[in-house]
């Protein structure tokens, strides 16, 4: 079997990829935006410094030595709360340098700055110096090296990178812990499922995560319980089936051997033949009901739903049982004169009602009553007998396959009835009548809802 990647590995790798991509994009965007911001702020600070110098020269000549001394102290500007070197050049109206604190030795480079030519190595701001009559007296040029701003940006970038590195390391540890917290209960559940067997009880385990994994664990336990119950049911079914088939077969075999060995003759032979016929019919009935029950439980067995009058179904079931009731001196009373049309499988529902009414006839003293009433979206059918009723706890077992009371038949009829009624999306329950006897209560929807 091909080993696929584990879910924990997938989660952790995905988490690491998202973390790396997020941090990388953040660092890249920060590097670009922060440099633009620092250049913009540097220009703003240089302009502010130039305006201050301009105020110094406002009412003084450019050659004033006291002004020069003041300019000597203004050699730094503050950018992003850090001091960087600032250079000042004062030009007269003929663009001749009359003051400079720069240490640029390259005359060509200095000339490019003074003549306002493009120079990508510096960030500069120049402000004109005017007289009181607004005539040009000179120019103040304030500049700093772009390299210093980039170094400041790199320092901030490296600080952020270090912070992200520490945060990423902590995030990886947290991600590993989260991955373990997710995969540990899954591995535990996998081991339980791998070792699960119907032959041995499910080992006790608890998975408490408060999420879908815990729900999956509960669902598995519920499924296990249903499988165990179904397995037990199938075992009982096979045991009961073998018993039900073995009893008539033994009677048939015994009487057939007696006839063959001429142990019985004359009238006794006739009685043995009657037993053989009777047990054969009983055997056929059991086999037919087992086949029908198996078909009902098969997903391939479809119900033939159609618009049918429930009253006609009840009348047909009663009519088929008239002779049996008359034989046992039981009177069947039914108030079923209404027209109650719904989505019903005529044949299957008739058979279910025959099984229920037939069960009531076996236990009734003198009467079986059938009451059909319209409850709006559903129909209620009450089938009552005036017998001894159910023994304690028996009403919960009568729908089990092969469960038989004192006067039971094959023990399959009520199981068939329950499956047919539930196939109609209805319900059936049994209980004792307070006035004596047993009651079967059936609720059937008039329209079959989509599954």
Average pLDDT of 259-267? 81
List of domains in the chain: 7-156 (3.30.450.20), 212-297 (1.10.287.130), 306-445 (3.30.565.10)
3-state secondary structure 154-192: HHHHHHHHHHHHHHHHHHHHHHHHHHHHHHHHHHHHHHH
Of 64, 125, 61, the residue nearest 93 (C-alpha): 61
**Token digits for 317?**
């079931």
pLDDT tier for residue 89 given thresholds of 50, 70 and 90: confident
Mean pLDDT for 87-112 is 73
pLDDT over 60 (residue 301): no
Instruction: List, in sequence order, every residue forming a beta bridge with 384; answer none if it has no partner.
Output: 369, 439
Measure the CA–CA gap between 306 and 294, rounded to whole angstroms. 23
Residue 212 has, within 13 A of its CA and on its CB side, a CA count of 2
* pLDDT value of position 65: 54
The model's pLDDT over 195-217, given as tens digits with 9 standing for 90+, comes to 777 777 677 777 777 777 778 88
Torsion angle, CA of 271/275/276/282, rounded to 10 degrees?
Answer: 160
Q: Can you list the pairs that 28-34 forms with residues at least 24 positions away whose Cβ atoms lie under 8 Å?
A: 30/157, 30/160, 31/153, 31/157, 34/153, 34/156, 34/157
pTM for the model stands at: 0.53
- Residue 350: the pLDDT is 92
Give the model's confidence band at 444: pLDDT under 50 very low, under 70 low, under 90 confident, else very high: very high
pLDDT band at 1 (very low <50, low <70, confident <90, very high): very low
- ∠ CA 193-199-201, nearest 5°, is 65
Residue 223 neighbours by CB under 8 Å, 6+ apart: none
Residues in the chain: 451
C-alpha–C-alpha distance, residues 417 and 399, integer Å: 8
Instruction: Collapse the DSSP code of 152 into the 3-class scheme (helix H, G, I; strand E, B; otherwise coil) and give the result.
Output: helix
pLDDT value of position 302:
74
Other Cβ atoms closer than 10 A to 383: 25
| Cβ atoms of residues 143 and 84 within 8 Å | no
Angle between helices 7-56 and 65-72 (to 10 degrees): 170
Q: How far apart are CA 379 and CA 349, in angstroms?
A: 13
Tens of pLDDT, residue by residue over 360-393, are: 998 888 999 999 988 888 899 999 998 888 888 7
* 406, 425 contact by CB (below 8 A): no
| DSSP single-letter state for residue 442 | E
- Mean pLDDT score of the chain: 79
Strands (E), 35-185: 76-79, 82-85, 87-92, 97-100, 122-130, 136-145
As a whole number, mean pLDDT of residues 185-199 equals: 76
């Amino acid at each position: 079997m091909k080993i696929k990647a584990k879910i924990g590995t997938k989660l952790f790798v995905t988490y690491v990829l998202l973390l790396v991509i997020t941090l990388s994009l953040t660092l890249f965007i920060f590097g670009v935006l922060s440099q633009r911001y620092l250049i913009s702020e540097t220009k703003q600070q240089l302009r502010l410094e130039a305006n201050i110098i301009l105020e110094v020269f406002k009412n003084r000549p450019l050659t004033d030595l006291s002004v020069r001394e003041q300019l000597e102290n203004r050699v730094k500007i503050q950018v992003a709360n850090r001091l960087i070197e600032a250079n000042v050049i004062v030009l007269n109206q003929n663009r001749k340098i009359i003051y400079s604190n720069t240490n640029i030795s390259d005359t060509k480079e200095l000339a490019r700055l003074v003549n306002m030519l493009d120079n990508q190595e510096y960030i500069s701001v120049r402000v004109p110096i005017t007289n009181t009559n607004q005539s040009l007296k000179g120019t103040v040029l304030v500049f700093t090296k772009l390299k210093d701003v980039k170094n400041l940006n790199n320092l901030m970038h490296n600080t952020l990178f270090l912070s992200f590195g520490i945060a990423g390391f902590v995030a990886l540890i947290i991600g590993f812990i989260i991955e373990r917290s997710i995969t540990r209960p899954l591995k535990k559940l996998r081991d339980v499922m791998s070792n699960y067997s119907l032959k041995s009880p499910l080992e006790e385990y608890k998975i408490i995560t408060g999420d879908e994994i815990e729900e999956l664990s509960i669902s598995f336990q519920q499924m296990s319980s249903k499988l165990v119950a179904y397995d037990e049911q199938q075992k009982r079914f096979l045991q009961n089936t073998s018993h039900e088939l073995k009893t008539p077969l033994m009677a048939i075999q015994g009487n057939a051997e007696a006839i063959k060995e001429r142990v019985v003759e004359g009238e006794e032979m006739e009685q043995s033949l009657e037993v053989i016929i009777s047990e054969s019919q009983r055997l056929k009935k059991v086999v037919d009901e087992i086949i029908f029950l198996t078909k009902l439980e098969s997903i391939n067995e479809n119900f033939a739903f159609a618009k049918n009058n429930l009253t006609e179904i009840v009348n047909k079931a009663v009519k088929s049982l008239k002779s049996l009731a008359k034989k046992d001196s039981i009177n069947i009373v039914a108030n079923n004169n209404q027209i109650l049309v719904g989505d019903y499988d005529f044949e299957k529902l008739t058979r279910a009602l025959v099984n229920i009414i037939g069960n009531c006839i076996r236990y009734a003293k003198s009467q079986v009553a059938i009451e059909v009433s319209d409850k709006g979206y559903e129909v209620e059918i009450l089938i009552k007998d005036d017998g001894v009723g159910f023994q304690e706890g028996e009403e919960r077992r009568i729908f089990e396959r092969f469960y038989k009371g004192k006067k039971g038949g094959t023990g399959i009829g009520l199981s068939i009835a329950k499956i047919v009624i539930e196939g109609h999306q209805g319900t059936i329950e049994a209980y004792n009548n307070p006035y004596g006897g047993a009651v079967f209560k059936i609720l059937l929807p008039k329209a079959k809802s989509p599954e």
